[in-house]
Structure 1
């Protein structure tokens, strides 16, 4: 008889229902399995609608919601990483990109396609480039390391969007 764990990487616990659920959620309900740019696809498919929904809340409620999402996402990403063989940040886990998108639009009205496009591109670019200290945040343990560099990308993107808005550049792009 073949053991369920045979042929899998050490630490793979995909047969446990809790771990399967964690993988399902952390991969954006399966979006993370697309063969090309799963983080970008997850950010577009789930992150932007989530950002829009959260953006309709008062700023304080946005912050509380983001804190709750982060608190839930860390253990989910930890469990999913373990279930997927223990790799620190498997590419199929896109919950980090999904949760970082609303951070990008914190207190930034998604009032035009230009604002949405600018925020999305900034978020993805800064997540890929990982300016300091974002790259070092990946070294944090477990799900915290999975999430923290994307939070940094979201914060950087949010600051840049606010500066562009303050400078009138976002409103000028929509004319």
Structure 2
């Protein structure tokens, strides 16, 4: 397996079936928890910013001359988007000095909202997906991640400020 394939499939997790995108997102959550444990929110942000160009490159490499611009085994885009979706939770735990798992409902919410937006591809997510290139593969998940992060933050605010 080439370096580009290893990166694009996130160590081969993109070959898990069924629903490789969901498996890729689940792996991304576990990786985010590990990054958070090692360096808190700042490390998760840095990793997210680094995984985007790396994923763009790897996706371009593995789809070069291929008819399918977004093969299901390419899940590095899920990692970038899922990590963005988890920023509010990681920040909340880091800022409050809590163990990350103390905010487990937020991690679950970020995962579920990201999958919802990645699968349904509303407005800008669908626009990016229709680009038909490696950048579009990465961008649709990043935009879905932003939507999920906003939704996760809004639900946390609702819970903590209104319902608690």
User: Normalised by the shorter chain, which TM-score bucket?
Assistant: 0.7 to 0.9
Q: Distance in 2 between matches of 1:159 and 1:73?
A: 23
Larger radius of gyration, structure 1 or 2? 1
Q: Which runs of 5+ in 2 are unaligned?
A: 94-99
Pick the aligned partner of 2:80 from 99, 110, 113: 99
Query: CA separation of 1:171/1:161 partners in 2, compared to 1, >3 Å: closer, same or farther?
Result: farther
TM-score (norm: length of structure 1): 0.76
Give the total of aligned pairs. 153
Show the counterpart of 1:11: none
Where structure 1 has 5 or more consecutive residues not aligned to the other structure, the ranges are 1-16
**Higher relative helix content:** 2
The answer to whether the Cα contact below 8 Å between 2:88 and 2:152 also exists between their aligned partners in 1 is no
RMSD across aligned C-alpha pairs, in angstroms?
2.5
**Deviation per residue, 1:119-145 (Å, 9 max, x gap):** 111111110001111101113353211
Alignment of 1:138-149 (within 5 A): 138-140=129-131, 142-149=133-140
> Mapping of 1:37-116 within 5 angstroms?
37-44=19-26, 46-56=27-37, 57=39, 59=41, 61-82=43-64, 85-108=66-89, 109=93, 110=100, 111-116=102-107
User: Are 2:128 and 2:136, in contact at CA under 8 Å, matched by a contact in 1?
Assistant: yes
- 1:121 is aligned, of 98, 112, 115, to 112
